[in-house]
Chain A
Amino acid sequence: MSVVIYVPGDAAAVAVGADRVAKAITEGLARRGVEGRVVRNGSRGMIWLEPLVEVVTAAGRVGYGPVKPRDVEALLDGGLLDGAGHDLRLGDVEKIPFFAKQERFTFKRVGVTDPVSLDDYLAHGGYKGLERAIAMGPADTVEEVFNSGLRGRGGAGFPTGIKWRTVAACAPGKKYIVCNADEGDSGTFADRMIMEGDPFQLIEGMTIAGVAVGADMGYVYCRSEYPHAVIAMNKAIQAARKAGYLGRGVAGSQYDYDMEVRVGAGAYVCGEETSLLESLEGRRGLVRAKPPLPAHKGLFGKPTVINNVLSLAAVPFILSEGAKAYADVGFGRSRGTMPIQLAGNIKYGGLYEIAFGVTLGELVEEVGGGTFTGLPVRAVQVGGPLGAYFPRALFDTPFDYEAFAKKDGLIGHGGIVVFDDNVDMAKQARFAMEFCSVESCGKCTPCRIGSTRGVEVMDKIIAGVEREKNLAILEDLSHTMKLGSLCALGGFTPYPVMSALTHFPEDFGRGPMPLAAE
């Protein structure tokens, strides 16, 4: 009997030794003369258990983790192949509370299947969404996405259906689908996990978009820091093309659609949609002024749908299960699920997909289990380097676009970075300014000069030079950047800076203030 063993090939698992574990298992099986196959699946999202090895037994899949290469021999001797007991045995991984409590719509296949096997994808419900889209026709497909209430998962939260409608309404001709996979925010890795763990889903989502709006070409713009994701995407695209799911007449229909991956070169600002388009066209990633919107004049001046990986990856589910199934869960105007990424100083870090409405406190304390250093949580930054810092006092905020906006924050791409009470918030505010100055594209003055001055002012504040005067300058500067910048980089950098100052004034040499003196 041939055994099947899953060892994640996800970059996070590889970073903690999954490649060596896979090698040790392959060698161990060969030495014992056991016929077996090691499948490199995606990660289940429980990063603290990686490398998480799963064995297929008569009673289902049995997990073990975290497995170190030196544990492999003992595991094999101890009956790993039969799912026998061991200190590292986790049992059915889907019953682990962290996993069981989730609502996995977008991530339902990640970690379960062989990411680059089209057969596996089809066996797990793949391409049902495209089938239905082709049967429904373009106009109804656009409406289906609109009715699902799906909003841009990149951070802005703009309704995806409206973008699609706009592009669909443009005169027929060359149109493009662009997938923003320039996931530069620290604390986020959901896009990477989709591309490495279920690349066909993204391809299917983009194909549906192409059929719906009448575009025959698509690009995935992936950041260069994700080499594993680029490899997985390229393999999957080749397999899909070979099987007739890309190219002329996709899946036997009258619609043509093909796509390719383009790799960025380490510019954070290229995650901004217009800067990304400039970069795709082979130029410096300078932000464009809007209007015209990319939906009217996007890539090479043609109407373009530009969506985040998570938005496009949510589309196959919406088409196969229906808009209602997606819109039924959620909170207020935020419908569906959000793949949340718990990161930084957190005990149980990883990917947690759940309907909107869960509170920040539940996520950090209950799901995440607090900090791994064991110290109290002092601050959490939500939404990447441009997201606000939240103190414990705001832990009752529900995860929802509007609720976060009301507290002067943003959910961004769903990344949560946890800090313990050793953190110096003035240093974090300085870092936000420094990051903006390094990554600014330089087109607009508030961002280019404002961030540089911001670092200088923060240095003076940290050194204790004329604190009150410099804090007033910092506030004024943040105000200018917020209102005067062309894009979100300069416009949102004040969020982490101002939230740090508002919620943690003592780190800036100000006494704690219960209420802002406005």
Chain B
Amino acid sequence: MPILHAMQETFGYVPQDAIPLIADAMNLSRAEVHGVFTFYHDFRHEPAGRHIVKVCVAEACQAAGARDTSPKFEKALDCAFGETRPDGQVTLEPIYCLGLCACGPSAMVDGRLVGLIDDEAIAEIAAEVRS
């Protein structure tokens, strides 16, 4: 797994061509490496957008209003959850809990944490993503 993490850090995703190389180096079958690669949500199969917005959709954030803010994100970013906008500018992903449950709803924008999300915060994030 540290190898897959390193791949993703370097390329932004794990290229399909890398699987046989990893298998060879680790003395594993391609199927085994592919199995690990596909089991974990974090590993990407294709490049993500220039900006990555991960929005928490777990219970604590739901209680704090995420059921309302999540659709607003989709609208503001013009992108559905789990997808990358066709222009490659942004990828919007659901995430289950960032551990910011006492200041929800929360999100992670390009690795930066944002809590207490309101309409203003969504507008700011949308503006940031546009640039």
A interface residue numbers (CB < 8 A to B): 11-12, 14-16, 47-48, 50, 183-189, 192, 224-227, 262-268, 279, 282-285, 341-346, 349-350, 372, 381, 385, 415, 417-420, 423, 427-428, 431, 435, 439, 441
Q: How far is the CA of A267 from the CA of B38 in the complex (A)?
A: 11
Task: Please state if B100 and A186 are interface contacts (CB–CB under 8 Å).
Answer: no
Task: Please state if A15 and B101 are interface contacts (CB–CB under 8 Å).
Answer: no
Q: How far is the CA of A47 from the CA of B67 in the complex (A)?
A: 22
For residue B4, which residues in chain A have a CB less than 8 angstroms away from its CB?
Answer: 265
Task: Please state if A343 and B104 are interface contacts (CB–CB under 8 Å).
Answer: yes
24 residue pairs of the A-B complex, CB under 8 angstroms, read: A11-B113, A12-B100, A48-B102, A186-B56, A186-B60, A187-B58, A188-B99, A224-B42, A265-B4, A265-B43, A266-B42, A279-B1, A285-B40, A343-B102, A344-B61, A344-B62, A345-B64, A385-B58, A415-B60, A417-B59, A419-B63, A431-B62, A435-B58, A435-B96
Task: Please state if A266 and B40 are interface contacts (CB–CB under 8 Å).
Answer: yes
Task: Please state if B59 and A188 are interface contacts (CB–CB under 8 Å).
Answer: no
Task: Please state if B101 and A265 are interface contacts (CB–CB under 8 Å).
Answer: no
Q: A186-B59, A284-B35 are in contact. Are A16 and B116 (CB under 8 A)?
A: yes
Q: A184-B97, A224-B42, A265-B40 are in contact. Are A12 and B102 (CB under 8 A)?
A: yes
For residue A186, which residues in chain B have a CB less than 8 angstroms away from its CB?
Answer: 56, 58-61, 96-97, 101
Task: Please state if A187 and B59 are interface contacts (CB–CB under 8 Å).
Answer: yes
Q: How far is the CA of A435 from the CA of B40 in the complex (A)?
A: 15
B interface residue numbers (CB < 8 A to A): 1-2, 4-5, 26, 32, 35-36, 39-43, 56, 58-65, 67, 95-104, 106, 111, 113-116
Interchain nearest-CB distance for A343 vs B (Å): 3
Interchain nearest-CB distance for A433 vs B (Å): 13
Q: How far is the CA of A189 from the CA of B58 in the complex (A)?
A: 13
Task: Please state if A284 and B115 are interface contacts (CB–CB under 8 Å).
Answer: no
For residue B115, which residues in chain A have a CB less than 8 angstroms away from its CB?
Answer: 12, 15-16
* A-B complex: 3 closest residue pairs judged by Cβ atoms: A349-B102, A344-B63, A186-B58
Chain B residue nearest to A373 (CB atoms) is B65
For residue B62, which residues in chain A have a CB less than 8 angstroms away from its CB?
Answer: 344, 428, 431
Chain A residue nearest to B40 (CB atoms) is A265
Task: Please state if B103 and A225 are interface contacts (CB–CB under 8 Å).
Answer: no
Task: Please state if B99 and A284 are interface contacts (CB–CB under 8 Å).
Answer: no
Interchain nearest-CB distance for B98 vs A (Å): 5
Task: Please state if B111 and A225 are interface contacts (CB–CB under 8 Å).
Answer: no
Interchain nearest-CB distance for B20 vs A (Å): 17
Query: Most chain-B CB neighbours within 10 Å: which of A344, A385, A439?
Result: A344
Chain A residue nearest to B58 (CB atoms) is A186
Q: How far is the CA of A267 from the CA of B96 in the complex (A)?
A: 10
- Which of A14, A341, A435 is B113 in contact with, Cβ under 8 Å? A14
Q: A263-B5, A343-B60 are in contact. Are A283 and B102 (CB under 8 A)?
A: no
For residue A192, which residues in chain B have a CB less than 8 angstroms away from its CB?
Answer: 99
Task: Please state if B106 and A15 are interface contacts (CB–CB under 8 Å).
Answer: yes
For residue B2, which residues in chain A have a CB less than 8 angstroms away from its CB?
Answer: 262-263
Interchain nearest-CB distance for A111 vs B (Å): 14
For residue A188, which residues in chain B have a CB less than 8 angstroms away from its CB?
Answer: 97, 99, 101
Chain B residue nearest to A345 (CB atoms) is B63
Task: Please state if A265 and B5 are interface contacts (CB–CB under 8 Å).
Answer: yes
Q: How far is the CA of A225 from the CA of B107 in the complex (A)?
A: 11
Task: Please state if B59 and A385 are interface contacts (CB–CB under 8 Å).
Answer: yes
Task: Please state if A417 and B63 are interface contacts (CB–CB under 8 Å).
Answer: yes
Task: Please state if B102 and A265 are interface contacts (CB–CB under 8 Å).
Answer: no
Task: Please state if A184 and B96 are interface contacts (CB–CB under 8 Å).
Answer: yes
Chain B residue nearest to A371 (CB atoms) is B63
Q: How far is the CA of A381 from the CA of B32 in the complex (A)?
A: 38
For residue A268, which residues in chain B have a CB less than 8 angstroms away from its CB?
Answer: 96
Chain B residue nearest to A282 (CB atoms) is B1
Chain B residue nearest to A190 (CB atoms) is B99
Query: Most chain-A CB neighbours within 10 Å: which of B60, B96, B103?
Result: B60
- Which of A12, A342, A439 is B99 in contact with, Cβ under 8 Å? A12
Interchain nearest-CB distance for B116 vs A (Å): 6
Q: 14 additional contacts, CB 8 Å, given A47-B102, A344-B64, A345-B63?
A: A11-B113, A185-B97, A187-B60, A189-B100, A283-B36, A285-B40, A385-B59, A415-B60, A415-B101, A418-B63, A419-B63, A428-B59, A431-B59, A435-B58
